[in-house]
């Protein structure tokens, strides 16, 4: 047993924060190259790994291309052209999100960083039981000692980027000079490791892109332009770095309050050293892919359902849901939907199935058409493969919503704390404009859903924490 390979080993590193903290910021991490090697050489993945990008054509004429997994997208082909001939592209997939460690105990948070490999077939690495995601690191979750709340947020964001910069340094070296790795049958390959996808919810994406919450992490759109019926140009890494350089000439990054004031004009978050700044090839506008769980289903729950409940009335919509005769195997809502607690993605999907039948005949025709168009967009965008015709249907569904969305405002469906709203300043809604271009670049968006990574938080974080003695959670999880 002593002769068997041990796999990646856990290490720890203490960071030196810019401001005093209530506890030491310690990172628990593994070598990312060792983690990639463990995935690449896993015997269960032997027949499920792609070593080069590939194309699927609708016919032998090779006119219409089909987009499926990342290896079939334009981004993979573009990156392959930028590495030496004969070299192998290892598409790095990362994911991070804060999560509660324990159910019954408050104030215990973890920020896990997960790693996976895009070369593995999506239907394999997306299965939690096959452990296609590796827990790469536990990012520090600490409190800073400072009088300004906004500065707390700035320092936390900078600490996350500093942590990612440290943990992912071997991958940056590998994408610059290459590294030799073996596949499941023992063949050696000259590999390069660009970051091709980072699965995260909307606030986490803004953090990673170093962008203010009033702007989009992937498009050059600010909040006043949210709701435009057309996609704005992508927010490239070069533009963001140029803006950061301009801000650094106007204010000292160590003068936190003045630096934050200077960033407002550029819609930046205040992070002056993004972790991806010296990582060759990656671009936030490409590796920050649409995330189905939050950008589709949570958008429906937070907005579409609220518009409908305002028009129908809270009691009426709950009553209508309680009367629905559900087929066998489908979720029923005997007490309505608006009083549900701890709503999951499964609940979001179930409510979407019934919402058109609930509101039909009780809302204006164009209101109904706009809600139906958004639902059609979501269902179409979750397809496993796309060709020219299906992408056109996705674009048409989104265009139909924008053509009829005025009925939602005219019906007073958009309500805020101070009354009716006359704008569409909803970041998740504007992010839908990024879906079609992401499919062209990175394949089907369903492969980037956070359902799998959220489940990995249970197996990799919560269960090990519950098996401990309620002390030193991070060290015991690692």
pLDDT tens-digit profile, the chain (478 residues): 456 667 789 999 999 888 888 888 899 999 999 999 999 999 889 889 999 999 988 888 888 899 999 999 999 999 999 999 999 999 999 999 988 876 555 567 889 999 999 999 998 888 888 888 999 999 998 888 877 888 888 999 999 999 999 999 999 999 999 999 999 998 999 999 999 999 999 999 999 999 999 999 999 999 899 999 999 999 999 999 999 999 999 999 999 999 999 999 999 999 999 999 999 988 999 999 999 999 999 999 999 999 999 999 999 999 999 988 888 778 888 888 988 888 888 889 999 999 999 999 999 999 999 999 999 999 999 999 999 999 999 999 999 999 999 999 999 999 888 888 999 999 999 999 999 999 999 999 999 999 888 888 888 887 777 776 666 666 666 5
The residue among 382, 197, 420 whose CA lies nearest residue 300 is 382
pLDDT reported for residue 1:
45
Distance CA 427, CA 11 (A): 38
Q: DSSP assignment of 307-364, as one string?
A: HHHHHH-HHHHHHHHHH--PPTTS---TT-STT-SS--HHHHHHHHHHHHHHHTTTS-
Are the beta carbons of 207 and 153 closer than 8 angstroms? no
Distance CA 360, CA 369 (A): 10
The DSSP annotation for 237-300 comes to: HHHHHHHHHHHHHHS-TTSHHHHHHHHGGGTB-S-SS-TTTT-SS--HHHHS---HIIIIIIHI
pLDDT at 473: 60
Q: Provide the pLDDT for residue 160.
A: 95
| Six token digits for residue 60 | 């032998």
Q: How far, in Å, CA of 315 to CA of 294, rounded?
A: 26
Query: Which residue from 302, 305, 300, 311 is spatially nearest to 410, judged by alpha carbons?
Result: 311
Whole-angstrom CA distances from 382 to 117, 127, 314, 361 are 21, 17, 30, 28
Specify the DSSP element, H or E, that contains 172: helix 169-177
Amino acid 103: pLDDT: 58
The conformation of residue 234, written as its DSSP 8-state character, comes to B
Minimal CA–CA distance to 290: which of 158, 447, 88, 424?
447
Length of the chain: 478
The CA dihedral of 25, 26, 28, 34, to the nearest 10 degrees, is 90
pLDDT of residue 148: 81
Query: Residue 114: is it exposed, middle or buried by C-beta count within 10 angstroms (0-12/13-18/19+)?
Result: buried
Q: Which residues pair with 139 in a beta bridge?
A: 111
Total Cβ atoms within 10 A of residue 63? 9
Residue among 210, 205, 260 nearest 239 (CA): 210
Q: What is the DSSP string of 257-270?
A: HHHHHHHGGGTB-S
Residue closest to 159 by CA, chosen among 131, 140, 175:
140
Q: Scanning the structure block, which residue is given the tokens 């070598």? A: 31
Is the dihedral angle over the CA atoms 312, 314, 316, 322 positive or is it negative?
positive
Interior/surface letters 241-273, b for 16+ CB within 10 angstroms, e for the rest:
eebbeebeeebebeebeebbebbeebbbbbbbe
**Cα distance from N-terminal residue to C-terminal residue, the chain:** 22
What tokens does 111 get? 């920020």
């Amino acid at each position: 047993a002593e002769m068997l390979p041990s796999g990646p080993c856990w290490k720890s590193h203490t960071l030196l924060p810019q401001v005093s903290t209530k506890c030491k910021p310690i990172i628990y991490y593994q070598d990312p190259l060792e983690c990639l090697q463990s995935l690449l050489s896993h015997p269960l993945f032997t027949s499920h790994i792609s070593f080069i990008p590939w194309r699927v054509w609708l016919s032998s004429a090779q006119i219409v291309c089909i987009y499926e997994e990342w290896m079939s997208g334009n981004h993979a082909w573009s990156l392959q052209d930028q590495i030496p001939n004969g070299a192998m592209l290892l598409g790095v997939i990362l994911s991070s999100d804060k999560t509660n460690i324990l159910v019954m105990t408050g104030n215990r948070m973890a920020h896990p960083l997960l790693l996976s490999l895009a070369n593995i077939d999506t239907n394999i690495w997306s299965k939690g039981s096959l452990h296609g995601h590796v827990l790469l690191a536990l990012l520090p979750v600490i409190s800073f000692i400072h009088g300004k709340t906004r500065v707390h947020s700035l320092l936390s964001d900078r600490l996350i980027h500093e942590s990612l910069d440290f943990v992912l340094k071997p991958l940056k070296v590998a994408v610059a000079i290459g590294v030799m790795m073996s596949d499941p049958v023992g063949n050696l390959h000259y590999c390069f490791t660009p970051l091709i996808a980072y699965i995260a919810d909307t606030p986490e994406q803004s953090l990673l892109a170093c962008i203010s919450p009033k702007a989009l992490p992937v498009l050059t759109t600010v909040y006043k332009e949210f709701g435009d019926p057309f996609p704005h140009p992508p927010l490239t890494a070069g533009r963001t770095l140029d803006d950061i350089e301009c801000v650094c000439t106007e204010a000292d990054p160590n003068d936190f309050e003045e630096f934050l004031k200077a960033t407002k004009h550029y819609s930046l978050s205040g992070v002056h050293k993004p972790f991806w700044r010296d990582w060759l090839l990656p671009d936030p506008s490409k590796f920050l892919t649409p995330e189905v769980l939050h950008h589709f289903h949570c958008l429906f729950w937070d907005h579409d359902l609220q518009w409908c409940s305002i028009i129908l009335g809270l009691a009426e919509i709950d009553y209508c849901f309680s009367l629905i005769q559900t087929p066998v195997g489908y979720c029923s809502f005997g007490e309505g939907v608006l009083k549900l607690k701890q709503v999951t993605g499964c609940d979001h999907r179930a409510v979407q199935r019934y919402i058109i039948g609930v509101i039909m005949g009780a809302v204006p025709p164009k209101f109904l058409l706009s809600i139906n168009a958004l639902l059609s967009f979501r269902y179409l965008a979750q397809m496993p493969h796309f060709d020219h015709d299906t992408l056109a249907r996705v674009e048409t569904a989104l265009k139909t919503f924008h053509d009829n969305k005025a009925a939602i405002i005219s019906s007073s469906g958009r309500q805020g704390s101070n009354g009716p709203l006359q704008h569409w300043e909803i970041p998740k809604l504007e992010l839908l404009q990024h879906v079609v271009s992401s499919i062209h670049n990175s394949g089907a968006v369903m492969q980037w859903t956070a359902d799998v990574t959220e489940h990995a938080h249970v197996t990799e974080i919560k269960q090990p924490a519950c098996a401990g003695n309620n002390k030193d959670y991070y060290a015991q999880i690692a």
